[in-house]
Chain A
Amino acid sequence: SVLTQPPSTSGTPGQTVTISCSGGNSNIGTYPVNWYQHVPPAAPKLLIFTDNQRPSGVPDRFSASKSGTSASLAISGLQSDDEADYYCATWDDNLNGDWVFGGGTRLTVL
């Protein structure tokens, strides 16, 4: 993927974990970033849209930021049911404006 995420991360209950998403000027540097939580086979859930906005119903333990060509998602007060795959997504001018996903990060709660 043109968006690079760490394949995996882990934390213990109560901890804060951060997941990074690195891109370039044609994608993150130009377009807003969304973040999704996915526990297959269920549908992915929107956690963050437009870089740092939480949809209603998403706890404020989830926060995100963007700087230049990188974005990050932070999960504070880690809980066991946060164990999931997390994906960043945006658009990319080099791909004709296609929507692109990061490779995903598997979060394990120890």
Chain B
Amino acid sequence: QVQMSQSGAEVKKPGATVRVSCSASGYTFINNDINWVRQATGQGLEWMGWMNPKSGNTGYAQRFQGRVTMTRDTSIGTAYMELSNLTPDDTGIYYCASGTIGPWGQGTQVTVTS
């Protein structure tokens, strides 16, 4: 069974960087792109970017360019999303997803507070 398992909740101060991990199981990790989507508090779903696990190629939504970095470790089938220079507006739930029709991770709550 294909599953995506994410790291636990994070509490960060403004200006800090958060890293969320997403471990894939039940399929060959490099075969599907990984998308990252977030739901900021009180907002809708927002696509942040994608990564091709085989090549490492990435594409980021314009509003996150310069602040987000997506990487992977193919040896352990895990993708990472780093978001820097956090502000309280970044508080929300962050999800990884396998492609656009594959399963999603359970979500990671990120709280930015001083």
- Is A36 a contact of B95 with CB atoms below 8 Å? no
Please classify how large the interface on chain B is, using the bins under 10, 10 to 19, 20 to 34, 35 or more. Answer: 20 to 34
Residues of A within 8 A of B93 (CB): 40-41
Q: Does A67 contact B (CB under 8 A)?
A: no
Residues of A within 8 A of B100 (CB): 34, 49, 89, 99
Please classify how large the interface on chain A is, using the bins under 10, 10 to 19, 20 to 34, 35 or more. Answer: 20 to 34
Assembled-state Cα–Cα distance A49/B58 (Å): 23
Q: Does B35 contact A (CB under 8 A)?
A: yes
Task: Scan B80-108; emit 1 where CB is below 8 A from any A CB, else 0.
Answer: 00000000000001010100110111110
Known: A34-B101, A43-B95; 11 extra A-B contacts, CB below 8 A, are A1-B44, A43-B107, A87-B44, A98-B47, A98-B62, A99-B35, A99-B47, A101-B37, A101-B45, A101-B46, A101-B47
* B interface residues (Cβ-Cβ under 8 A, vs A): 35, 37, 39, 44-47, 50, 59, 61-62, 93, 95, 97, 100-101, 103-107, 109
